[in-house]
Amino acid sequence: MSVGTAFHPRTSALNSTLAWGEWSGYFAAAVYADFHDIEYNAIREAAAVIDVSPLYKYVISGPDAMRLVDRVITRDATKLAVGQVFYTPWCDERGRVIDDGTVTRRDDTTYFWTAAVPSYRWFTMNAHGLDVSIRDVSEDVAALALQGPSAHEVLEAATRQDWADLRYFRHRRTEVGGIEADVTRTGYTGDLGYELWVDAGSAVELWDAVFEAGQPFGIRPAGIRALDVARVEAAWPELVD
């Protein structure tokens, strides 16, 4: 049975047609408007927010955290700098892709890892002999994708900070409406965008702060249908079955 994400008090009120999909055991709005092209246009012409909380999320930490990341992903983890994000697949021992996601290096020994499928067991198996901690924080962290050409202005209005220097695939800690959050300049729409990662208990307050800041810029929620269209256009296909 599906359950609501931490943003459900807001997404359910806006999803008046009850057009829900299922994403990793969570309710995911398929479309809020009568047609998903309205939400797609917000992604391409203004600003849209997408609840991406159903992603699996892990914190990898400890003296050997980098060695574990390097064992698992197909990219060179030694080149991942603090404050940088890798988009990467990881494979099994036969070279078959298991999943893809992002790995953010938050400090020298801490990484924040997202995945589309449960990956805790695979990470643990590959951590044999390493001094490393693996925490599944999937239910503890909510995630909101802020995407579109006006996303930059919305984020600056919400944080009252300058974001012009945050490069693509980079990370910064900030406050949104007084709420601590991690922001990465990432997303699957192919447009300008950011992903906001916040403690699940503060998700509704974050949503409200972002929407208040975004009103002058035509912000609107977008469902997974619009996201899928944008993702295909951006050539960010799913790498797993």
pLDDT digits over 45-85, tens only? Answer: 999 999 999 999 999 999 999 999 999 999 999 999 999 99
Give the C-alpha separation, 38 to 148, whole Å: 13
Cα→Cα distances 40→97, 145, 196, 222, Å: 29, 14, 20, 7
| Rounded distance between C-alpha atoms, residue 135 and residue 131, angstroms | 14
Q: Any idea what the Cα angle at residue 58 is, between residues 188 and 72, rounded to 5°?
A: 80
pLDDT digits (tens, 9 = 90+) for 104-136: 999 999 999 999 999 999 999 999 999 999 999
107 with 175, same domain: the answer is: no
Rounded-to-integer distance, Cα 207 and Cα 196, Å: 10
The per-residue pLDDT for 160 is: 96
Task: State residue 234's pLDDT score.
Answer: 82
- Indicate the average pLDDT of the chain: 95
Res. 28: pLDDT tops 90? yes
- What per-residue confidence (pLDDT) applies to 14? 96
pLDDT of residue 2: 86
Q: Three-state DSSP class for 99?
A: strand
Q: 215: which DSSP letter?
A: G
* % of the chain exceeding 70 in pLDDT: 97
- Identify the band that residue 239 occupies on the pLDDT scale cut at 50, 70 and 90: very low
One domain for residues 216 and 226: yes
CA dihedral 121, 127, 133, 139 (to 10 degrees): -20
Instruction: Say if residue 171 is exposed, middle or buried (CB neighbours under 10 Å; 0-12, 13-18, 19+).
Output: buried
Alpha-carbon distance of 26 to 180, in angstroms, equals 24
Tell me: do 114 and 38 sit in the same domain: no
What CATH number should be reported for the domain holding residue 221? 3.30.1360.120
Q: Does 228 lie in the same domain as 167?
A: yes
pLDDT of residue 123: 98
pLDDT value for 57 = 98
Give domain status of residue 25, yes or no: no
Q: What is the pLDDT of residue 237?
A: 63
Q: Which of 74, 101, 136 is the last residue of a domain?
A: 136
The domain total for the chain is 2
